[in-house]
Amino acid sequence: MTYEALERLVNERLPDCLNSLGEIPATLREAMLYSLEAGGKRLRPVLLLAAYGLLQEDVTPALPYACALEMIHTYSLIHDDLPAMDNDTLRRGKPTNHVRFGEAVAILAGDGLLNAAFELMLREAAASESLAGLRAAEMIARRAGVTGMIAGQTLDVTLEGTQPSLDKVGYIHAHKTADLLTAPMEAGLILAGASEDQLVAGRTYGYHLGIAFQMVDDLLDLEGDPARMGKHTGMDAAQGKLTWPACVGSARTREDAAAHIRQAVEAMEVFGERGIFLKALAQSTLTRVQ
Amino acid sequence: MTYEALERLVNERLPDCLNSLGEIPATLREAMLYSLEAGGKRLRPVLLLAAYGLLQEDVTPALPYACALEMIHTYSLIHDDLPAMDNDTLRRGKPTNHVRFGEAVAILAGDGLLNAAFELMLREAAASESLAGLRAAEMIARRAGVTGMIAGQTLDVTLEGTQPSLDKVGYIHAHKTADLLTAPMEAGLILAGASEDQLVAGRTYGYHLGIAFQMVDDLLDLEGDPARMGKHTGMDAAQGKLTWPACVGSARTREDAAAHIRQAVEAMEVFGERGIFLKALAQSTLTRVQ
């Protein structure tokens, strides 16, 4: 399947997932859908489906987990954009959630998406009495949690304006970004019945892709065109964010990103022919800054 | 076991649960613990253990789920106290989380506690390959979610200042409060291997206890002594909150609370002798306003 085909599967299923939860108050539902449907590349759920597809033909059984992961990603963006956090007013070319719905509803929409993600995964795993589903959800919980993404977010916010160092930047981005790209690799592979070796390969891929992805993101914030990106640029420097270019400069960041992508690609070797899609996906990350 | 004995079990286990997750950034961990250890009656986890104890002798296997539920309750208080929500500065006699740690960390501590609750339950259920654990976690997710507690919170916030009606107040409190007292009854009973009839009885108990509990809370906000309660009173009226006394007056609210408690007590009949503890617990709710 192509990236676009997987993305379409996710886009079609996302509103159904939300509706399947039952009667949600109108404002809350609207706010959740607003950010869920604001677009984005659906990278995390596509990775989960692609990881599942490394071992299985039909990826649809993995769709609820893929949608749950996108909900977690979306909640993190809504909370991250709040005035008390990064105070962003524009995302993907649209006003951020709190600008559109007010802070109170934005906070609740974020909480709601996080809770809904687990509700979906638990319901799916319980309905099919799937221990693999349970383990996949556990892995996602860990990567998204207080030793994972939320740990990275916390240091990203609390270390703002301090002296950049590779230690700090490495920690923040390993958790804030790479953990949520590693989670879909692990979850997809667990759901597909992967061996321990295959799981390690997926984890390696997710980590290196995540770090490279963040390096590219930092470069785009520094050098990108806001009109093309649908968000404000130059925000990192204005907010004193700890970024890769702030540590080692743009040229070295570009080189390091390429090195991480090479490692991600290499990790896919164990899957032979079936690894080609994820190899190409990793390589395409770099073209955004070439 | 006494209420105090169950409460002690929860208080002892809560920090271990947090520590078991791994290395949490210091500020985030401190903020999560600050609110977790701010006290409170531990009503929800005690209910979960008591519900489990209706059918089982040793309640310790249910402890991780009980602690997870307290984490969910605590996150909801942290987010509810935020300036954009109820803007409370005092809770349980201490500054609220965002007053102590700042808004950004308070938002992340809330997110962290919600995520940690699911991480704990999923890890526990996966480690013991327990389908009952999976179903209990699913039930908690549903009651805490966008058709449960978060739905109630949303209407509580968005309907502030509108004309009170029993419809609105009934919906808000059925979800904002009663759903999180029903969840422990359901989860505890599912974990203990209850029959469908027993589950229905537990659900009935939780609902009526929850509504009565909220009525008492509304009366205390109206008439209580702030020094004794460790929080500001008269906030509901000042914020235009939709409360039971605002709908039907204090005297009728007091009568209705007593009627709901009678229904909760009645629901415990099916458990015979073993139901005595939960009957007494329900009745004690009323003594706060007698």
Nearest chain A alpha carbon to B159 = A27
Place of tokens 């700090």: A168
Is residue B129 over pLDDT 80?
Answer: yes
**Among A21, A76, A85, A146, which would you mutate to test the B interface (most chain B Cβ atoms within 10 Å of its Cβ)?**
A146
Q: What is the pLDDT of residue A62?
A: 98
Torsion of CA B192, A115, A160, A178, to 10 degrees: 90
Instruction: Quote the minimal CA–CA distance from A207 to chain B in Å.
Output: 19
Any residues with CB less than 8 A from the CB of B184 and at least 6 apart, and which? B44, B45, B47, B48, B51, B66, B69, B206
8 A C-beta contact, residue A83 and residue B136: no
Q: What is the pLDDT of residue B289?
A: 65
Instruction: Quote the minimal CA–CA distance from B2 to chain A in Å.
Output: 32
Q: Give me chain B's average pLDDT, please.
A: 94
Nearest chain A alpha carbon to B134 = A126
Mean pLDDT of B146-160: 96
Nearest chain A alpha carbon to B106 = A84
Quick one: angle between helices B250-267 and B276-287, nearest 10? 170
8 A C-beta contact, residue A221 and residue A290: no
Tell me how far apart the alpha carbons of residues A93 and B187 are, in angstroms, rounded to a whole number: 43
Any residues with CB less than 8 A from the CB of A117 and at least 6 apart, and which? A68, A69, A71, A72, A75, A140
Q: How far is CA B96 from the centre of its chain?
A: 18
Nearest chain B alpha carbon to A105 = B154
Cα-atom radius of gyration of chain A, to the nearest Å? 18
Nearest chain A alpha carbon to B144 = A115
pLDDT tier, B59 (very low <50, low <70, confident <90, very high otherwise) = very high
- The token pair that represents B209 in the structure block: 């206890």
Instruction: Quote the minimal CA–CA distance from B176 to chain A in Å.
Output: 12
Q: What is the pLDDT of residue B290?
A: 60
Tell me how far apart the alpha carbons of residues B183 and B124 are, in angstroms, rounded to a whole number: 18
Tell me how far apart the alpha carbons of residues A200 and B180 are, in angstroms, rounded to a whole number: 39
Tell me how far apart the alpha carbons of residues A135 and A281 are, in angstroms, rounded to a whole number: 26
- For chain B, the structural domain boundaries read 3-287
Nearest chain A alpha carbon to B87 = A104
Q: What is the pLDDT of residue B92?
A: 85
Instruction: Quote the minimal CA–CA distance from B287 to chain A in Å.
Output: 33
Mean pLDDT of B157-173: 92
- The token pair that represents A109 in the structure block: 């929409």
Helical segments of chain A, H only: 3-19, 26-36, 43-53, 63-81, 97-101, 103-127, 131-144, 149-158, 166-173, 179-191, 196-223, 226-229, 235-239, 244-248, 250-267, 276-287
Q: What is the pLDDT of residue A290?
A: 60
Q: Which of B111, B137, B155 sits opposite A114 (nearest CB)?
A: B111
The verdict on a CB contact (< 8 Å) between B154 and A27 is yes
Tell me how far apart the alpha carbons of residues A64 and A178 are, in angstroms, rounded to a whole number: 21
Instruction: Enumerate the residues of chain A whose CB falls inside 8 A of the CB of residue B82.
Output: 107
Predicted confidence pLDDT, tens digits, chain A (290 residues): 899 999 999 999 999 999 999 999 999 999 999 999 997 899 999 999 999 999 999 999 999 999 999 999 999 999 999 999 999 999 988 999 999 999 999 999 999 999 999 999 999 999 999 999 999 999 999 999 999 999 999 999 999 889 989 999 999 999 999 999 999 999 999 999 999 999 999 999 999 999 999 999 999 988 877 777 677 777 788 888 889 998 999 999 999 999 999 999 999 999 999 999 999 999 999 887 66
**Among B76, B118, B191, which would you mutate to test the A interface (most chain A Cβ atoms within 10 Å of its Cβ)?**
B118
In a 13 Å sphere around the CA of A256, the CA atoms on its Cβ side amount to 20
Tell me how far apart the alpha carbons of residues A265 and A275 are, in angstroms, rounded to a whole number: 9
Q: What is the pLDDT of residue A232?
A: 75
Q: Which of B28, B103, B126 sits opposite A84 (nearest CB)?
A: B103
8 A C-beta contact, residue A72 and residue A35: no
Q: Residue B82: which of A79, A246, A41 has the closest Cα?
A: A79
Instruction: Enumerate the residues of chain B whose CB falls inside 8 A of the CB of residue A32.
Output: 146
Query: How many CB atoms are located within 10 Å of the residue A167 CB?
Result: 10
Which has more confidence, B229 or B101?
A: B101
**Among A122, A124, A156, A167, which would you mutate to test the B interface (most chain B Cβ atoms within 10 Å of its Cβ)?**
A122
The verdict on a CB contact (< 8 Å) between A154 and B125 is no
Nearest chain A alpha carbon to B145 = A115
Q: Which of B102, B108, B114 sits opposite A153 (nearest CB)?
A: B108
8 A C-beta contact, residue A151 and residue B111: no
Instruction: Enumerate the residues of chain A whose CB falls inside 8 A of the CB of residue B104.
Output: 84-85, 157-158
8 A C-beta contact, residue A70 and residue A42: yes
Instruction: Enumerate the residues of chain A whose CB falls inside 8 A of the CB of residue B154.
Output: 25, 27-28, 105, 108
Instruction: Enumerate the residues of chain A whose CB falls inside 8 A of the CB of residue B155.
Output: 25
Q: What is the pLDDT of residue B15?
A: 96
Fold of A3-287: Farnesyl Diphosphate Synthase (1.10.600)
Any residues with CB less than 8 A from the CB of A139 and at least 6 apart, and which? A183, A186, A187, A190
**Which amino acid is located at A270 in the chain?**
V
Tell me how far apart the alpha carbons of residues A283 and A267 are, in angstroms, rounded to a whole number: 13
- The token pair that represents B42 in the structure block: 């531990």
Q: What is the pLDDT of residue A192?
A: 98
Tell me how far apart the alpha carbons of residues B6 and B278 are, in angstroms, rounded to a whole number: 12
The verdict on a CB contact (< 8 Å) between B111 and A111 is yes
Query: How many CB atoms are located within 10 Å of the residue A155 CB?
Result: 21
pTM of the shown model:
0.96
Tell me how far apart the alpha carbons of residues B198 and B188 are, in angstroms, rounded to a whole number: 11
Q: Which of B112, B137, B146 sits opposite A145 (nearest CB)?
A: B112
The verdict on a CB contact (< 8 Å) between B150 and A125 is no
Instruction: Quote the minimal CA–CA distance from A182 to chain B in Å.
Output: 16
The 10s digit of each residue's pLDDT in B221-275 is 888 777 776 777 778 888 888 899 989 999 999 999 999 999 999 999 999 999 9
Instruction: Quote the minimal CA–CA distance from A152 to chain B in Å.
Output: 9
**Which amino acid is located at A237 in the chain?**
A
